[in-house]
Amino acid sequence: MTRLIILLAFSSFTLASVNGARILGLFPYPSRSHLNVYSTLTKALAARGHELVVVSAYPLAKPPANYTDIDSMPAVRAIHDAIFNANVYDDFSDFPLYLIMTSFWDEGLWVTEEFLKYSKVQEIIQDKRGFDLVISEAFVDEAVYAFAFHFQAPLILISSMNGLHWINHAVGNPAPLSYYPNPMLTYTDRMEFTERLTNFLFTKMWDLGNYFYYYPKQNELKDMIFGPGLPDVREIERNVSLVLLNAHFSTTFPRPLVPAMVEVGGMHVSPKTNKLPADIQEFLDGATQGAIYFSMGSNLRSDLMPAEKIREILAAFAKIPQRVLWKWESDELAKRLENVKTAKWLPQQDILAHPNVKVFITHGGLLSAQEAAFHGVALIGIPIFGDQMLNVKQAERAGYAVVVNYHTISESSFSAAIAKALHDDRIQSEAKRRAKTLGAKILAITPIVSPSHGIWNRALLEGLADKGHDVTAIIPFVGKNRTGISYHDIGGLYEDDDFIEFAHLGIKGNIDAFWDFATEVNPTQVQSEVSKRLLIDSKEKYDLVIYEMCMSEVFVAILPKFQAPIVAINAYADGWWNWESFGVDARPSIFPSSILPYKYPMTFRQRVVNFLTRLYDRYQRRNYLKGQQALANHVFGKQASQIDEVENNYDFFLVNNGPPGVDLGRALPPNFKEVGCLQCRPADPSKLQPNVREFLDSATDGFIFFSLGSNVKSSLLPDDVKKGILEVFGKLKQKVLWKFEDDELPGKPKNVLINKWLSQQDVLGHKNMRVFITHGGRLSAQEANYHGVPLVVIPIFADQHKNGENALNAGVGVTLKFLSFTKEKFAKAIQEVLNNPIYGENAQRYSSIAKDTLHTPLEEAIFWIEYVIRHKGAKHLRPAGQHLNWIQLHSIDVIAFLLSPLVLIAFLLKKFLCSKKEKVKKQ
């Protein structure tokens, strides 16, 4: 149900008006199990007041008043009967790979054509009212997506399964074939070389077939129905707003997802159970030694199994004391058994919720697997076709299922599977391990000596304390001790560093300064009294360790000592090493360095510079880590672990990335969450100093806020720059509030107020706020985004260049290069943002997007921290790519293997031709 709420939030987000939108739902494929997913969504949208027009082969029995249900079964009846009335056990159980591919194409084209030609669908095309949103099934029916362009409405795709592999292309989601198995194969995400080879070849062959045959055919159908005026179906597909997958990492496998692709697996699962029919209730209540539920789903019929298979299954059932409830589609079973009860239809979720049901024998359909996982019931999987093998293999690898080969079912093999599922404690406990976290004891180590990091870290740690946890925080920027949190100052603070000097360093100088700074500070911190008392000599036990993985890697070596799950955090989002540690795609071709003002996609020249920058940064980090390991060995002694090994075994990562308008979306695995802006909050004018509040309240023409953040001191700006800034400010009719670190500012105009410290969010949220002049630090960019304030960005160092470029690309501000700063450029930038309304409009739009979430970023962060505590770690969330080396991850070994015959042939051909030339010369 939680996933359904999340889904509704995403769906509503795409609508022009979330109240009373008109939504078209198109679900061509005539499968009952598919519609079980879609109807859950459409009914919930109707319940929220939207008007639904839904076309499917299975209309609702009692649709609500605002729900128009159009039955498409008359159009697709012949296809339905051909597919689902056949003996699927014989036809599909041992299908060759190439026939799987061609049957998908043929069925999809058949269904799509008959659906689009249906008279009632044709009437919808002529609908003059139009629609605010189109939701379409994503299952070999791409011509149907054209309805979105026809009605000029956003398009949401929803898949009843984990998605056919090419759905990833629609939103640019990475699907590395090194650990992303084609759902039609029998592989899990942990593939051997030969499996990766097969997966690579099969998927690429399918992609080629799609490109040269299948998509052109879908295009012909689109043109036949809508005319030639609409774009190619591939272009329509690439313009989808959102893809919803009926998948969840608990029943499939963890993998990276871009923000436009959302897993909503299990949304059809209801936490509420209904009363069972009296005879079934009595049968299950009387199962004192447990019950087994057996169903092959809605598309497969148990009674169509070959007679010899049924005999073997019944022989196994006859030997067990447990009762068996079997979904059997005929009136009589060949052999009656006292412990076996059959029925043509059974309320599956209510049965799985019964406390006596211990095992579910299933075909491995995704909905069945999800419902069993929700109710904590162990599985015996008998997969037949489609994604069923993948589903049960994943469940088996996760430890709560046993797989039975349909072709070799015998009384002995089936009995062994039942015995294992019933009596193996590991399977039963894993099935039931899926919820209690009160008052966890947490150790937080956040040593980085940056005030902005301290702001973000304290917001998170104090949020945990407010939830009842006991937090011990080792941090250089201590807050006030309060209930649930004790701060311990680890030192290392800098006082006199002039960060303005970083602007003159260039690319190499910035990289060198970054790692040198960390190297200088860490020895002082790690050998401090706090480190000795709370880390080296500590005998305390903790439920969780939180560590900020930025410029303090020496502390990583001591983390395993506490034998607790590790949640890594970072207020600095652009450390490529953080992303790589969690198997996230951080290639320099798509991941610009934070010190470069590049946007994505980069030009060829920019990619060359970015590649070389990354190469040098990687070299320097490697040297830095050698020094950190040596320091750890010296200080921690035998307690020191290898830093690189620990980094590859973190349970979870929370990063200060986002929201849109500040950062680009990236594909992320389930153990990697973006919680950018978790420090953001609504403005509270009462927190402003009285003189500041009076100054801002009286700014009838608005005011400009000028701050270079917590690291860069504007009081250290060159005198000529300060003089130029004051000349520009003096000519404005707006008032200016300047965070200035000295008591006096010579030449200050009357419309300028200076103050050493200001409550930034309360200033940004003031009703008279017009423009924020900023260095472009991440927290400042996020807070401006949250409060909808346009920017003039003057980046100095680190990620400020990239943040400024992102603001420019989002249309929320302009940037100025500090090294070429002039008062004329400064005045022009301010006037541009003040007088061009597009900046303010874009800032307000992105503010609305940032706030349109189901949970605040802080709530999201706390949820996942508590999730790790509940499950005593989160190793199950790691994508398989996290365990592959670079060559395996990018399938370079597979490609090399495939190219090796060509290389050999070329070599032999060259040798042959050279030998012939030598013979000719001799003659």
Spell out the SS3 assignment of 622-656: HHHHHHHHHHHHHHHHHHCCCHHHHHCCCCEEEEC
Largest CA distance in the chain: 104
Mention every residue, 6+ apart, whose C-beta is less than 8 A from residue 244: 7, 10, 41, 156, 157, 158, 159, 262, 264
Residues of the chain with pLDDT under 50: 1-17, 434-438
Q: Which CATH superfamily is domain 278-432 in?
A: Glycogen Phosphorylase B; (3.40.50.2000)
Tens of pLDDT along 854-913?
Answer: 888 898 898 889 889 888 888 888 887 777 777 887 788 888 888 888 888 888 887 777
Q: Find the distance separating the first CA and the last CA of the chain, reported in whole Å.
A: 85
> What is the pLDDT at residue 589?
85
CA atoms within 13 A on the CB side of 616: 16
> What is the pLDDT at residue 691?
95
Class in CATH terms, 2-263: alpha beta
Angle at Cα 71 formed by Cα 66 and Cα 77, nearest 5°?
165
How many of the other CB atoms lie within 10 Å of CB of 350? 19
The pTM is what? 0.70
Q: CA-to-CA distance for 915 and 923, rounded, in angstroms?
A: 13
> What is the pLDDT at residue 6?
44
Q: CA-to-CA distance for 381 and 651, rounded, in angstroms?
A: 30
> What is the pLDDT at residue 1?
44
In total, the chain counts a number of residues equal to 923
Inter-residue contact 114 to 4 (CB < 8 Å): no
The H or E element spanning position 443 is strand 441-445
Inter-residue contact 292 to 314 (CB < 8 Å): no
Look up residue 296 and give its two tokens.
Answer: 């092959």
Backbone angles phi, psi at 867, to 5 degrees: -60, -45
Look up residue 40 and give its two tokens.
Answer: 């859950």
Look up residue 693 and give its two tokens.
Answer: 């509040």
Backbone angles phi, psi at 291, to 5 degrees: -130, 150
Q: CA-to-CA distance for 750 and 753, rounded, in angstroms?
A: 8
Q: CA-to-CA distance for 591 and 599, rounded, in angstroms?
A: 9
Inter-residue contact 292 to 434 (CB < 8 Å): no
Radius of gyration over alpha carbons of the chain, in Å? 31
Q: Which residues of 184-212 are buried (b: 16+ CB within 10 A; e: fewer)?
A: bbebbbebeeeebbbbbebbeebeebbee
Tens of pLDDT along 806-863?
Answer: 888 889 999 999 888 899 999 999 999 999 999 999 999 999 988 888 888 898 898 8
CA distances from 42 to 24, 155, 266, 365, 564 (A): 10, 15, 15, 22, 43
Look up residue 734 and give its two tokens.
Answer: 């707006």
3-state SS assignment for residue 166: coil
Q: Which residues of 42-54 are buried (b: 16+ CB within 10 A; e: fewer)?
A: bebbbeeebbbbb
Ordered DSSP codes for 662-701:
TB----B-TTEEE-TTTT-----GGGS-HHHHHHHHT-TT
Topology adopted by domain 441-640: Rossmann fold (3.40.50)
Backbone angles phi, psi at 580, to 5 degrees: -65, -35
Ordered DSSP codes for 28-85:
-S--HHHHHHHHHHHHHHHHTT-EEEEEESS--SS--TTEEEEE-HHHHHHHHHHHHS
Q: Which residues pair with 915 in a beta bridge?
A: none
Return the residue matching tokens 């003031």: 766
Angle at Cα 658 formed by Cα 710 and Cα 13, nearest 5°?
140
Inter-residue contact 491 to 476 (CB < 8 Å): yes
> What is the pLDDT at residue 10?
45
CATH code reported for the domain at 685-851: 3.40.50.2000
Q: CA-to-CA distance for 41 and 4, rounded, in angstroms?
A: 7
> What is the pLDDT at residue 870?
84
Inter-residue contact 476 to 449 (CB < 8 Å): yes
Q: CA-to-CA distance for 882 and 884, rounded, in angstroms?
A: 6
Q: CA-to-CA distance for 516 and 502, rounded, in angstroms?
A: 13
Residue of 514, 504, 502, 500 lying closest to 616 (CA atoms)? 514
